Chains A and B, each alone.
Chain A
Amino acid sequence: MENERSFLEYLQSFSETRSPIDFILIYDNLGRFFDGALVTLQLTFLALLVGGLIAVPLAIARAYRKPVISPAIRIYTYVFCGTPLLVQVYLFYFGLGQFKAVQDSFLWDPILSSPWWCVIIAFTLNTAAYTTEFLRGAIEATPHGEVEAAKACGMSPFTRMRLVVLPNAFRRALPAYSNEVIFTLHGSVIASTVTLQDLLGVGRWLNGRYYLAYEGFLTAMVFYMAIVFLITFAFRLAEKRFLGHLRPRETPAPGAARVAA
């Protein structure tokens, strides 16, 4: 208690005298930033979860070139990968709201009237499109021998997919997926443009409320960096676990051993 008080006093005097940044203001509003971080995490990971679930069947359909379905999915992924996320969010939020028919429809009241839903729909469709495409690549890269071996073992196409093709495709896609997770996190700042109080939204609120330039953005930045750090750490562990067979062996090469001896 005593310690905390003297720390605050130090922070106050530092903020008022020497620092160009008002740390006390940030400290007083930290609670809001944690709330904002929660919104950001919720949006990011809900979109990734649902988008990922959508992407698996779409990627399979694309990889096996199912007629009609595959080109249709290609159009979808092309549109969502080829246009900025901001435009997609605006289309769902401001665009759809313009139509009287949409406003009167059953979708309006709980869903399309809420900024949260508009953002989650746009984010989900966006990440699903990206995930579909690189997962398709990973499935297509399945070595032919693996599939033949599975056939030789008498596996049905479904079992083959479940036990051989998909697990290995997921492994191959893991490094690309860590980028997708971080991009989705970075993209989530768009939520603040349609009134959601995510991390950046809180930062802008603080700047707007007290007419500041740095404090809100800097604090949000530190939070984003912490989240990205945790994400990359988690992926590093996952890559160690699932891509361990690709790492160079740790036993010394025979040549090196001889020199040492």
Chain B
Amino acid sequence: MKIKNTLIASIVGAASLVGTMASADALRVGVEGAYPPFSQKEADGSLSGFDIDIALALCEELNRECELVEQEWDGMIPALVAKKYDAIVASMSITEDRKKRVDFSEKYYFTPSRFIAKEGASFDMTPEGTKGVKIGVLRGTTLQCHVEKTFPEADLRLYNTQEDVFADLVTGRLDMQLNNTLGALDGFLNTDQGKGFAFYGPDVDDAECLGEGTGIAVRKGDPLAGELTAAIAAIRADGTYATINDKYFDVDIYGK
């Protein structure tokens, strides 16, 4: 009997603890943590990066507490739909395919994507010419869509994190990789690891796959999308965006 009471007490205790943790007005934001300089993990386990700072600034603008939830990239949208968090601030491009599953705010930045290969390497960038060329991208990205559509014969390799893609480009397991130019510069080309590598070819032009900029995803029909769009405009206007932008980049990445 006594044991039973203790048990009930501890269950009630645990339940109330969970209750306080998920306070009603906290905004749970899904972030990734392996996509420098947009989001990365510091040695002490804390998160930092452009996406993280933007998420925190938006929460402040909305007057809501921010709860950052880490999620690996390929489960990002499913976890949002499953209500593990309410919004995704993780450099997610706004595309038609994704709009079938989620709603987006207006863009909060736009950067083009480019291939990276060994300096001096040369490829025939046609569907036939890329047959067997080992191209690495992050799984479940717009870039996967682009490579599968444009170079169906290529040896496309899908990775769990962008850091793994860079690691395999260095070891020579990949002939080239494709990702966002800013991520590529700060996460790879401007680091020691990226010595001897360079952009290959022009910016990728594929609006169907690559979308129209990077937005914040929310569940279908959630009015949060509109609130976030207003909050983005507000931090653009009051200079918060510029401060965060300058912390990471030399140019304004908001785009036109």
**Which residues from chain A sit less than 8 Å from chain B, CB to CB?**
94, 97-98, 103, 113-115, 193, 195, 201, 204-205, 207-214
B140 to A113, Cβ gap below 8 A?
no
Docked pose: A103 CA to B169 CA in angstroms: 12
| Residue of B77, B82, B97, B167 touching A94 (CB-CB under 8 A) | B167
| Residue of B100, B148, B159, B164 touching A209 (CB-CB under 8 A) | B148
A97 to B173, Cβ gap below 8 A?
yes
A209 to B145, Cβ gap below 8 A?
yes
B171 to A97, Cβ gap below 8 A?
yes
Q: B77 — which chain A residues lie within 8 A by C-beta?
A: 211, 213
Q: Given A97-B167, A113-B172, do A212 and B74 touch, yes or no (CB 8 Å)?
A: no
* B235 on interface, CB distance cutoff 8 Å: no
* Chain A: CB-nearest residue to B140: A208
Q: Which of B158-213 contact A (CB under 8 A)?
A: 158-160, 164, 167-168, 171-173
A205 to B158, Cβ gap below 8 A?
yes
Q: Which of B131-161 contact A (CB under 8 A)?
A: 136, 139-141, 144-145, 148, 157-160
B101 to A211, Cβ gap below 8 A?
yes
* Chain A: CB-nearest residue to B79: A213
A94 to B78, Cβ gap below 8 A?
no
Q: Given A204-B74, A209-B140, do A103 and B157 touch, yes or no (CB 8 Å)?
A: no
B168 to A213, Cβ gap below 8 A?
no
A97 to B168, Cβ gap below 8 A?
yes
**Which residues from chain B sit less than 8 Å from chain A, CB to CB?**
74-75, 77-79, 81-82, 97-98, 100-102, 136, 139-141, 144-145, 148, 157-160, 164, 167-168, 171-173
B158 to A212, Cβ gap below 8 A?
no
Docked pose: A98 CA to B170 CA in angstroms: 9
In the complex, how many angstroms separate the beta carbon of B67 from the nearest chain A beta carbon? Answer: 21
B140 to A195, Cβ gap below 8 A?
no
B164 to A94, Cβ gap below 8 A?
yes
Q: A204 — which chain B residues lie within 8 A by C-beta?
A: 74, 139-140, 158
| Residue of A113, A195, A211 touching B158 (CB-CB under 8 A) | A195
A98 to B171, Cβ gap below 8 A?
yes
* Chain B: CB-nearest residue to A213: B78
Docked pose: A212 CA to B97 CA in angstroms: 11
* Chain B: CB-nearest residue to A109: B172
Q: Which 8 A-B pairs have the closest CB atoms?
A: A208-B140, A213-B78, A97-B171, A195-B157, A211-B77, A208-B139, A208-B74, A211-B101
Q: A97 — which chain B residues lie within 8 A by C-beta?
A: 167-168, 171, 173
In the complex, how many angstroms separate the beta carbon of A17 from the nearest chain B beta carbon? Answer: 16
Docked pose: A46 CA to B136 CA in angstroms: 27
In the complex, how many angstroms separate the beta carbon of B252 from the nearest chain A beta carbon? Answer: 29
Q: A212 — which chain B residues lie within 8 A by C-beta?
A: 78, 101
* Chain A: CB-nearest residue to B99: A211
Q: B81 — which chain A residues lie within 8 A by C-beta?
A: 213
| Residue of B82, B140, B159, B173 touching A211 (CB-CB under 8 A) | B140
Q: B101 — which chain A residues lie within 8 A by C-beta?
A: 211-212
Docked pose: A98 CA to B164 CA in angstroms: 12
Q: B136 — which chain A residues lie within 8 A by C-beta?
A: 195
Q: B97 — which chain A residues lie within 8 A by C-beta?
A: 210-211
* Chain A: CB-nearest residue to B155: A195
User: 16 A-B Cβ contacts within 8 A?
Assistant: A97-B168, A113-B173, A114-B173, A195-B157, A204-B74, A204-B139, A207-B75, A207-B140, A208-B158, A211-B78, A211-B98, A211-B100, A211-B140, A213-B77, A213-B79, A213-B81
Question: B97, B101, B140, B141: which has the most chain A beta carbons within 10 Å?
Answer: B140
Q: A205 — which chain B residues lie within 8 A by C-beta?
A: 139, 158
Docked pose: A113 CA to B81 CA in angstroms: 38
Question: A113, A193, A195, A210: which has the most chain B beta carbons within 10 Å?
Answer: A195
A204-B74, A213-B75 given; 7 more Cβ-contact pairs under 8 Å = A94-B167, A97-B173, A113-B172, A208-B74, A209-B144, A211-B77, A211-B97
